Amino acid sequence: MNISAAAERSGVPPKTIRYYENIGLVRPQREANGYRVFRESDVHKLTFLGRARALGFGIEDCRALLALWEDEARASAEVKRIAADHLAEIDAKIADLRDMRETLADLVDHCRGDDRPDCPILKSLQA
Amino acid sequence: MNISAAAERSGVPPKTIRYYENIGLVRPQREANGYRVFRESDVHKLTFLGRARALGFGIEDCRALLALWEDEARASAEVKRIAADHLAEIDAKIADLRDMRETLADLVDHCRGDDRPDCPILKSLQA
DNA sequence: GATGGGGGTTCCAGTAGCTGGAAGGTCAAG
DNA sequence: CTTGACCTTCCAGCTACTGGAACCCCCATC
């Protein structure tokens, strides 16, 4: 299977697949002409990576998860720890964004948004 | 005022101040020895930038907001538009994160996290 | 006058995770 | 034989800094 087929089947774009190979997340074989050849197992890995990334896991987390996935003797505790840590980070981000959102929404609400210069948004940034 | 004093008073670190000068957000004067000299107005600008960044505005938004702030003849509608757009982006990010969070929390909840290999988190990434 | 320390300066590289684009090789069809 | 759709590598750029190296400046002290 060529890279574009693997991309289509895994949902991971060709550019990204090459990048993943670059950083050692996948190791497709090569044909005599230099083209990458993807086996089913490569496509499965890519799909796995795509899902993990969609859940917001960083690349190094993905690397670790992939290794655990391939390790039949893994302890699920390790997986859970990685996921729980990530969940905590997401919660922190959400909290930050909510704070921003609240402040910003207040400011937007109180700005008339007409052609006059008076603006509580700017005032708040200034004060 | 030297850069470290300006940093302390504005809350923006020296490195970041230099970066902001680099991209044209502030233009401190220079002494004969090459040291930057910050006036009150520079400190005000930096403080403004610090607050805008803390609300999550991107650098280019900051540039625009700064220009509007300095323009006595601005229309508050412009400011409001920038802020409202940014608010929408924040809302979108929060929504994305919440989706992730929900899925992830479910997975974490259902993983026993012991020393056995069976793991619904990995199963979900695989399937 | 030398020295030491705490400022300041510039410039380069790296961070995360791709993505766009250039320059060029390969292959099947017409 | 050429066209067009693939594929390859490599380099640059994105966001907003941040760390670090190498070097300059100024003041106080010995």
Identify from B80, B91, B103 which residue to disrupt to test chain A contact, counting A C-beta atoms within 10 A and taking the largest count.
B80
Q: In the numeric block, which tokens belong to residue B46?
A: 């930096």
**pLDDT tens per residue, range B90-124:** 999 999 999 999 999 999 999 999 999 999 999 99
Cα separation, B79 vs B69, whole angstroms:
9
pLDDT at B4 over 90: yes
Provide the CA A75 to C1' D15 distance, Å, integer.
37
How far is residue B5 CA from its own chain's centroid? 22
Q: Which bases in strand D are touched by protein, i.e. have an atom under 7 Å from a CB?
A: 6-10, 15-19, 25-26
> What pLDDT is attached to residue A127?
82
Cα separation, B60 vs B103, whole angstroms:
34
Give, for A29, the enclosing helix (H) or strand (E).
strand A29-30
**pLDDT tens per residue, range A27-69:** 999 999 999 999 999 999 999 999 999 999 999 999 999 999 9
How far is residue A122 CA from its own chain's centroid? 34
> What pLDDT is attached to residue B127?
82
B86 touches chain A (CB under 8 A): yes
**pLDDT tens per residue, range A72-81:** 999 999 999 9
pLDDT at B51 over 90: yes
Instruction: Map out the domains of chain A as residue ranges.
Output: 1-57, 75-127
Shortest Cα distance, chain B CAs vs residue A29, angstroms: 22
* Nearest nucleotide by C1' position to the A53 CA atom: C17
A56: CB within 7 A of chain C nucleic strand = no
Give B91's contacts in chain A (Cβ within 8 Å): 101
Neighbours of B70 (CB within 10 A): 12
A6 touches chain B (CB under 8 A): no
CATH of domain B1-57: 1.10.1660.10
